[in-house]
Amino acid sequence: MNWGWSIVWVFVGFALFIGYLAVRSFQTNVDLVTEDYYQQELEYQNRIEHTTNANQLEEQLSISQEEQQITIRFPEALADNMQGTISLFRPSDARFDYSTEIEIDEARQQQVSTDKLPKGYYKVQVALAADSKSYYWEKPIFLR
C-alpha cells in the first residue's frame, strides 16, 4: 500500500469519528438548571435579601439526614405562622427534583422522605414567609 491510500484511510477514519461524535451528542440529555432561568435571575436580589434575613436570626434552621429521610428543624422564632416550600434540587437531573409544602410538627420539625429518590448530590432549598418577612436557606447534601 502506498502513501496515497494511507491518506484516504486517515480521512475516512476522521469522517467516521466525527459522525460518531455527532450521533452521541444528539443522544446526550442536557438539562437546564431551571426552565425559567431569566425570571429567576431577575429575582436573585430578593433571594439575597431573604438569605440575609435568615442569617440574622438567633437560632438557625438545621438540616440533618438519617437513613431514608431528611429532618429539617425550624427556628423557634418562626414556628408559629409560617408558610413556604422545601425543595430538593438535583443539578444533574431535573427528573429527580422534589418539592413539598412546609408542615411542621410539635417539635418544630419536618421529615422529608428520600426513599424514592436516587442517591447523589442534592441541594435542600427552604423558602418561607413568616411575620411579613421572607427567609431562604440552601444546604448541599449527598443522599447515601
Strand pairing report for 82-89 and 69-73? unpaired
Which pLDDT value is given to residue 13? Answer: 96
Which residue, among 64, 94, 91, 77, has the nearest Cα to 128 in the 3D structure?
77
- Residue 101 half-sphere exposure, CB side, CA atoms within 13 Å? 3
Task: Give the SS3 label for residue 91.
Answer: coil
Placement of cell 459522525 in the chain: 19
Which residue, among 37, 38, 137, 133, has the nearest Cα to 87 in the 3D structure?
137
Question: Do 97 and 135 meet the contact criterion of CB atoms below 8 Å apart?
Answer: no
Which pLDDT value is given to residue 32? Answer: 63
The predicted model scores a pTM of 0.73
Per residue of the chain (144 residues), what is the pLDDT tens digit?
Answer: 688 888 999 999 999 999 999 999 988 876 666 677 777 777 888 889 999 998 988 889 899 988 888 999 988 888 677 889 999 998 888 888 889 998 888 888 889 988 888 999 999 999 999 888 899 999 999 988
Which pLDDT value is given to residue 34? Answer: 67
Which pLDDT value is given to residue 38? Answer: 76
123: Cβ contacts below 8 Å, ≥ 6 apart: 88, 89, 91, 138, 139, 140, 141
Question: What percent helix, strand, coil does the chain show, rounded to 5?
Answer: 35, 35, 35
Question: Which residue type is seen at 133?
Answer: K
